[in-house]
Structure 1
């Protein structure tokens, strides 16, 4: 086990004394500094956990990936790759740079090992994002990279499709798969795109544009849709019916929840935003089970939300997911969680 993995419990104590967003940014910069120095890179890098899987035709080194949101600008891909992920997803990126919601906008709930955030797709815009992705070596070394696209806050919801099409065109040559994020609770009206009619129109436009891009670039890049854990059963069924109809390759289930039932009485429970961490796990499992029952085995499902241990990663797979992603669990447990999850999935 690398020095970084062994010392994270001590580092977490210092990090948790800082503002959550400040700690997040400090950690990424420290990881990058470690990566940039050959000596510290050797000391902190971990052996790649190997458990090959294929999803959407993509060869994963292992089925434990990084969820979008941790590296919104794609600026730390290679440094994050040293932690042992089988695939990495970065973003969400919007066509134009935007600051996101006012600070403070991230809150820890340590007793529930959870976070509430209302970041609001803060990012440096599509051009900077693409430049960062192009500089990274991860894909050239065989890593699988997902690029996550969204809409600008200032774009009226009735014109959201224009932002998604612009994002699709921009990231298409640089992605192994592309995620359409319509489930963040922190951009006004964004989740309305999950309704049947709105989703039908959006997916129709994206599929038509993807076909044009596939012809132009000579390859077909998989498209996946990221949905919320708060959908009603009939809404999940409607999504599941539209996905294969439009030739979409997969679903990421799920984003953060608006529910506060599991954190009632804890500090910050009343803060607006999406709740992540263990309270999302059961919600995500319910969505995954219903999707798999409705979709059969032909559509990929990536399970995310509340994975706090190897056991919970295994439960996602047993519910019907093909692969999993981590985020909040990393903050509370550190990068050793990646290997724990891979080990738990051996034989699954």
Structure 2
């Protein structure tokens, strides 16, 4: 087992020698003779614990501790102040700054060993707990995303035998979001929310979804209702992913020129995620083979999308989609339909 690292900070070499003598056999020791050097060492390679002298010239121990606790890379490191008996009135201040303990000078080897061992053990337990919580949180997130993907595929199975549409278009949507310069968090939200875009089809009769001919006016009106139904299924929730999924469900059939549905929104009044999904959805629908139709070629599909730029689709997003077309083709080939 690798030894824990203890950083000793003291401006007096004799004090450093004493602490090194007490702890050197059991721990990996680093030393600093002033505050700035201690901060630099901690930032470069975070120790597992810091023994910090209070009374030092220039930057004192309290100032060093305050700086350590203000930095993300070092705020978690346990700090034990080492102080002379005459300085015990400063203990309250030290604890307020984030120190975990005090050791008084002249130091007792037994006390030093016991305090260091105790706080390293507590620190190890804390890190283990944080790791377990992070792992569990990751597992819960992955489970949630998988449920969302499967719900999206459930809707697709009503008019798509494989359900691969939601997989491909989710990847296309993320590519387009990245190409458009959005944050990594936004891009991942788009990717994970995209499968729910047509969840409202669950409420659309099969007689309409699977009708081989053209829909009449009443049927088309009922088909259009799936956008509102999808938003109602997802509902209102504080979770950012579900909020985005709802916006996508309600807006991905809106058109740039205002001729879409359900609300006839136009331009930038349409949520950006809805505009992204509109392109990804149409591209995949046209380039995918179905038992009742042949797939369009990629270039024929792009020709239509570019023709509809400024009408159906956001013109800036159309340009960005063209720029990632090679990546889109790779995804399409990886998740190809077979009939």
What is the TM-score normalised by the length of structure 2?
0.29
Say which structure, 1 or 2, has more relative contact order (CA 8 Å, 6+ apart): 1
Normalized per residue, the structure richer in strand is: 1
TM-score (structure 1 length as normaliser): 0.28
Larger radius of gyration: 2
